[in-house]
Amino acid sequence: MINIVCILLLLESKIQYNKSHASRNRLKMGYFSQRKKHERDNLILNITLGIVAVLTVCSFDGGAFGRFCNLLQFHFYIITLAALIYALLGRFFIHSLVALLLLIVNFGVLTSAANIVTNTSHSGSDKLTILYQNNVRRVEPLVKDALENNASIVGLNHKKAPAYLPESFGDYQLVHQSRDEEKSFILTTKNPLRAGRIHLSPQRTASFLVFENAGKNFVFINLNFANLSFKEEKNVFDNLAKFILGQDEPVIIIGDFGVPAWSKTFKNFLAKTDLEIKNRIIMTDGNSWFNPFIVPSINVLGYRNLGLKNIDILSDHKGSHPLRFDLNF
């Protein structure tokens, strides 16, 4: 009997020893696993913040690579914001400080001209709804959208002027059509006081319309500078600024400017004309509802007393999304 009890005690002590040993092994493995994860997270943050820091510094250079980095400034901002959150959650406080400094620098660059998440509001009671669409393939669905949204003006851009485009769609009339290489058109329910085409370079033009709304005259400009080359960039923006400064009426511009708001060329253009960007950053080029890889270059411009109440990206029309802008002044 005593032998059996001894055997049982020995077995019990053996089991307890094995459990204790296994527990120590688990703790040891857990420690090494946590250490590896910590080292991996540290490496990821070092590489991410290092690359963003170098590219952010390069974006202030006037060379070709510097201009390329400047185009991606909003992406640097988003990546840095994500890195800051990741570093704080992992208690990497030095990395958090570096990320915060980079975030402040990129935030300053962006907000020097652009609105990051909000539109510029205005308390005026007069309203105007405008639709805009690049790469239009079929005009009929766009006109249907315009009717449903009570849009007074539609700015549309074709790569080629379609032969079937009639002079009117019900209440909407086509105020300008041209066989120029760059095709931008305007459909409107307004009575055009004046309309035409602005020649900005041998390859670039824009359509304009002078109309009356709530007892005031406005100049509306519809443009598409997508794939604008650096060589023609300054010339195109300078000529557009000359046209705007020659107008007596307030100007509203909607279009794809080809470069982001914080680029040097665009900021110089805004300084010359006293125009302001009214929209938040729009991550679409009109071909998709949202695209995180594009450079945001679609903007609404106007003077100080113009506000932008709302932006809607409408449903797809054969691979292209119209945008609706509700303005107030």
CA nearest to 187, candidates 206, 205, 204, 167: 167
Task: For 312-329, give one letter per residue: b (16+ CB within 10 A) or e.
Answer: ebbeebeebbbbbbbbbb
Tell me the pLDDT tens digit for each residue of 236-254.
999 999 999 999 999 999 9
Q: Is the pLDDT of residue 3 over 80?
A: no
Share of the chain above pLDDT 90, in %: 54
- Whether the pLDDT of residue 109 is over 90: the answer is yes
Q: DSSP letters along 274-323, please? A: T-EE-SBP----SSSS--TTSPP-EEEEE-TT-EEEEEEE---SSS---E
| pLDDT over 80 (residue 34) | no
Say yes or no to pLDDT of 226 above 90.
no
| Mean pLDDT on 305-310 | 93
State the pairing for strand pair 216-224/251-256: parallel
With cut-offs at 50, 70 and 90, classify the pLDDT of residue 288. Answer: confident
Query: For the residues 85-104, what does the mean pLDDT come to?
Result: 92
Q: What is the rounded average pLDDT for all residues in the chain?
A: 85
- How far is the C-alpha of 109 from the C-alpha of 59, rounded, in Å? 10
Which 3 state secondary structure label does DSSP give 233?
helix
- DSSP codes, 240-258: HHHHHHT-SS-EEEEEE-S
Cα dihedral: 138, 139, 140, 143 (round 10): 150
Q: Which one is the CATH code of 127-328: 3.40.470.10, 1.10.760.10, 3.60.10.10, 3.90.650.10? A: 3.60.10.10
Name the nearest CA neighbour of 243 among 202, 278, 200.
200
At residue 50 the predicted structure's pLDDT band, cuts being 50, 70 and 90, is very high
User: What's residue 179's pLDDT?
Assistant: 54
9-13, 188-192, 293-297: least confidently modelled range: 9-13
pTM of the full predicted structure?
Answer: 0.84
Token reading at 298? 């679609």
What are the sequence ranges of the domains in the chain?
Answer: 24-111, 127-328
Q: At what angle do helices 73-89 and 2-58 cross, to 10 degrees?
A: 160
Average pLDDT of the segment spanning 42-56: 93
At residue 1, the pLDDT reads: 53
C-alpha–C-alpha distance, residues 242 and 234, integer Å: 12
CB 119 within 8 A of CB 280: yes
pLDDT of residue 10: 46
Residue 52, pLDDT > 90, answer yes
> What's the pLDDT tens digit per position in 141-158?
888 889 999 999 999 887
Summarize the confidence of residues 117-129 as an average pLDDT.
90
Specify the pLDDT at position 160.
54
Among 180, 174, 187, CA closest to 204: 180
**pLDDT tens digits along 157-196:** 876 545 455 555 778 887 765 555 456 788 899 989 999 8
User: What local confidence, expressed as pLDDT, does residue 11 receive?
Assistant: 45
Lowest mean pLDDT among 84-93, 264-273, 317-326: 317-326
Tell me what the mean pLDDT of segment 18-43 comes to.
64
Which residues, at least 6 apart from 268, have a Cβ–Cβ distance to it below 8 Å?
237
